Amino acid sequence: MKQYLLTLVALTFVSLVHPGVIQAASPVDDGVTRLADAVSGFFERERHEKIVFVGAVTSPDGDGDAALRDKLVAALEAKEFTIRRAKLTINGRFSKEFRPEGTSGPKRVALRLKAEIRDRESDELIQPIAIPIFGEEAVTHLNPTVDIPADLSEDKRHEKLNDAINTPTAAIDGNVTKADRGSKFGIEILARRGSSTSSRKPKDDQGFAFVELAKGEEYIVRLHNKASFETAVSLNIDGLSMYAFSKEGNFGSQVVVAAGTSVDIPGWYISSAKTDVFEITSYAKSAAADKSIPLTSTGTITATFHACWEPTATPPPDEAGAKSADTATGRGRRIDQKYELVKRVVGKQRAFVTVRYNRN
């Protein structure tokens, strides 16, 4: 089988929102920490023992986000919570929110992250706690499919995000799901059973691109970049980064796709030489189950595209402000896959593409 030379990005920047701006923590990490502070405050005021079960973190559409759940669990453990089966449970909800009218600056699309503290036996809602998280990194968790030119004003960027979230549209071009009809960025799903590999055509399911994948099939995610510049791509499967199981600690890395090319991602990054293939398997054997993430967190493949360039190179001219069911994706057989470490400066998010797959 042909091996593809992939590159992962090892960067010193922290924020994906504004290149060159250094922040102490990402907006999402900071927001989850604030939510954990509020939950801890409630438990202390009510004198509840800090033992809690954390369920799925889901959207109104049923999409789950394993990364948000992992972050919430870690933030609660930092507040001396014990996470296990308990009388009180926390279910997470995430949805779109706008910056409230009357505050300074124009309205911005934000992630609204909510912790619902419930009685495990009666399912009675005891206390809801919600916070908004701003920044385009946060918007990624809303799973939009949209193309956003980097030179748009912030107002226009948020208008496009809002429209894409409110009225999803599946931009399907042959077997490729694009950010929109004219976009240069897209993803393609190739299914593999035994020695046979075939590209799987998506269908439009109420504005969402949907591919059929069956238990026992492996699949490959092909990232398409038809732009005239390199792109850095973040790839999430069922809410988990393709680097979630890395043995090298590079969990926030991205894949670089050269201008006018495509790159195949066959599985979860383990090391610069090894990959565990993406495989449709029973939930009990899935990557989501490995992290104790409930079944509702499966079913999405999401790629986020950014322009990128070498630290000493000139960014693209439009990079404004730039400074130099019961199935899930499991960890299949381990294969050889070479990755090369490179450094890049990463620009604004230019496209989000999401494909959903069968959970039945």
Q: Strand order in 51-58's β-sheet? A: 82-83, 51-58, 88-98, 109-119, 125-133
Name which of 13-17, 111-115, 285-289, 301-305 the model is least confident about.
Answer: 13-17
Is the pLDDT reported for residue 63 higher than 60?
A: yes
At 113 the pLDDT is 94
Q: Which tens digits make up the pLDDT trace of 84-109?
A: 988 999 989 999 988 765 666 677 88
Domains assigned to the chain: 6-21+140-357 (no CATH), 27-136 (3.40.50.10610)
Which residue type is seen at 123? D
Query: What digits encode the pLDDT tens for the residues 66-77?
Result: 788 889 999 999
Among residues 152, 218, 234, 220, the alpha carbon closest in space to that of 185 is found at 234
User: Cα separation of 23 and 228, whole Å?
Assistant: 30
Residue 199 has pLDDT above 90, yes or no: yes
Selection from 48-62, 176-190, 206-220, 227-241 with the highest mean pLDDT: 176-190
Residue 77 or 142, more confident: 77
Q: Is the pLDDT assigned to residue 359 strictly greater than 70? A: no
pLDDT confidence of residue 289? 66
Confidence of residue 141 (pLDDT cuts 50, 70, 90): confident
Q: Residue 348 has what pLDDT?
A: 79
Q: Which two tokens stand for residue 240?
A: 């988990």
Task: Please give the pLDDT value at position 270.
Answer: 92
Strands 171-173 and 146-147: unpaired
Residue 53: is its pLDDT beyond 80?
Answer: yes
pLDDT digits (tens, 9 = 90+) for 256-268: 999 999 999 999 9
pLDDT confidence band for 324 (50 / 70 / 90):
very low
Chain segment 229-281, per-residue pLDDT in tens: 999 999 988 778 899 889 988 777 899 999 999 999 999 999 988 999 998 87
pLDDT for residue 16 is more than 80: no
pLDDT of residue 101: 58
What confidence score (pLDDT) does residue 303 get?
94
Task: For the beta carbon of residue 207, count every other beta carbon within 10 angstroms.
Answer: 11
* 3-class SS of residue 289: helix
| Residues in contact with 269: Cβ distance below 8 Å, sequence separation at least 6, in sequence order | 8, 242, 243, 245, 246, 250, 253, 275, 339
What does pLDDT average to over the chain?
82
In single-letter form, the type of residue at position 136 comes to E
| Residue 30 banded pLDDT, cuts 50, 70, 90 | very high
